Structure 1
Amino acid sequence: MSEIVLETRHLVRRFGAFLATNDVSLKVERGARHALIGPNGAGKTTLINLLTGVLPPSEGQVFLEGEDITSMASFRRVKRGLTRTFQINQLFNEFTPLETVALAIAEREGVGHNLWRSIAGCGKVVDEAAALLARFGLASVMGERTVILPYGKQRLLEIALAFASKPRVLLLDEPAAGVPEDERHEVLQIVSDLPADVTVLLIEHDMDLVFSFANRISVLVAGAVFVEGTVAEISTDPRVKAVYLGENA
């Protein structure tokens, strides 16, 4: 029997009279590659914000590994193993990738204050950061300022930064968004090669990435779960083609 690692029950978020999330009940299995798709304005990012505690729900509950985390602060959810990336990079432009990831690791280990004194003096942290950057194809640029990196490398750095917290559940909010075509292959390959023991919930508009990555897809329309199924089921569902993939548009 599969284990549910992330779950929402009847989740609602209102902004005044506008219903951004409408009675969403969603289950994500441990180790899943679960994609959340839908047209612009469907409420995908609002749902991610509810899952991560950026927004409180108007109604409903969020569970992580069976624990009700509905009222839990965002940083505590990260410590519980729920981490996200963003549509727009949330990076320190003047830091190098090594400094960025080393700081995240140091904060995770509770030694962040020491890192500010001398990054060179935190050998174990720096070694782990360097290994993580190599895993994400960033070894050759780990000493460069983030602001001058190609955008695809910046997206990879954000995923590496999320991994520095050792997540059990990773929420990827459009990891390939804005990445030039000649840099996309590397980003998509890294996403495809994410460790199998990390559960991934992916928001993405690139359907090639979705269909090659996901083993389960939920389609969100007008804030509600419209349909859910396997890649084969979703890719051939005429209702999905009509509302999202562009047929009969």
Structure 2
Amino acid sequence: MTIALETQNLEKQFGGLRVTRDLSLKIEQGARHALIGPNGAGKTTVINQLTGVLKPNSGRILLEGQDITDLPVHKRVLRGLSRTFQINQLYPDLTPLETIGLAVSERLGHGGDWWRRMGTRSDVNGEIADLLTRFHLLDVMNEETVTLPYGKQRLLEIAVAIAAKPRVLLLDEPAAGVPESERHDILAVVGALPRDVTVLLIEHDMDLVFSFADRISVLVSGALLTEGPPEQVARDPQVKAVYLGEEAVNV
């Protein structure tokens, strides 16, 4: 078993409030791993620590066995760790073509003159076209992002994260705010990613979680309650009591 991402005894406090409590997680390479829990469980705080937005008070974060606890955000991206946000972090006046072009060019070290290289480098153009196709954005590639349906905006943000060529992708509620009819499309695109990309998903839609994840960790009050394959977690009486309710989950 190869571990792609790991936390060891992670702790985070805001004043006297412990938001992450002695959290130890192991995300296997190639996994489709979900982190679930009730509102206020500390899931986004964990993601923010993993990506360097927040610094833990104690504990360690390992990416492919290397300690990244003290690395800044941009260096974690360069190491192969990418993320999306609960609320889109996109340029509203750029098109999907321009947004993905900027992301690809930035990864290649040409962010300052991306608009020149988009039209002159076949490798860059090919990668942009591939991402637009895979994320179903070809039909809106020349429209300003602010005008796109919200589902398309979410797909664009994931495409931008993938443009960084991550080996570990963190998705913070990618289907939040997306109409029901489009939610499964988003997870289907993510599920189709090659297995050399490890995915850690935070999501409140349990249908999506149980159809997508091959392993689930349940967080309550910043601490790990239980983890295991979806069918095991669905039957766990503690999970039903604190998060899913008493009604059984169909998997």
For this structure pair, what is the TM-score category when the shorter chain's length is used for normalisation? over 0.9
Match of 2:64 in 1: 65
Structure-to-structure mapping, 1:1-249, within 5 angstroms: 2-117=1-116, 119-247=118-246
- SS of the equivalent of 1:121 reads coil
- Per-residue CA deviation, residues 55-81 of structure 1 (Å, 9 max, x unaligned), is 000010000011000000110000000
Shift of 1:139: 1.1
- SS of the equivalent of 1:189 reads helix
Taking the aligned partners of 2:180 and 2:53, their CA distance within structure 1 comes to 31
Residue identity over aligned pairs, in percent, reads 64
Q: TM-score, normalised by structure 2?
A: 0.95
Shift of 1:118: 6.2
The one-letter code sitting in structure 2 at the alignment partner of 1:167 is: P
- SS of the equivalent of 2:30 reads coil
CA RMSD, Structure 1 to Structure 2 (Å): 1.2
The one-letter code sitting in structure 1 at the alignment partner of 2:31 is: A
- SS of the equivalent of 1:134 reads helix
Taking the aligned partners of 2:204 and 2:240, their CA distance within structure 1 comes to 14
The one-letter code sitting in structure 1 at the alignment partner of 2:112 is: H
- Per-residue CA deviation, residues 158-182 of structure 1 (Å, 9 max, x unaligned), is 1100000000000011110000123
Taking the aligned partners of 1:88 and 1:4, their CA distance within structure 2 comes to 29
Equivalent residues, number: 247
- Per-residue CA deviation, residues 111-151 of structure 1 (Å, 9 max, x unaligned), is 11221446433443232112111011111111111111110
Shift of 1:183: 2.2
- Per-residue CA deviation, residues 195-238 of structure 1 (Å, 9 max, x unaligned), is 22210000011111111111111000000001111111101111
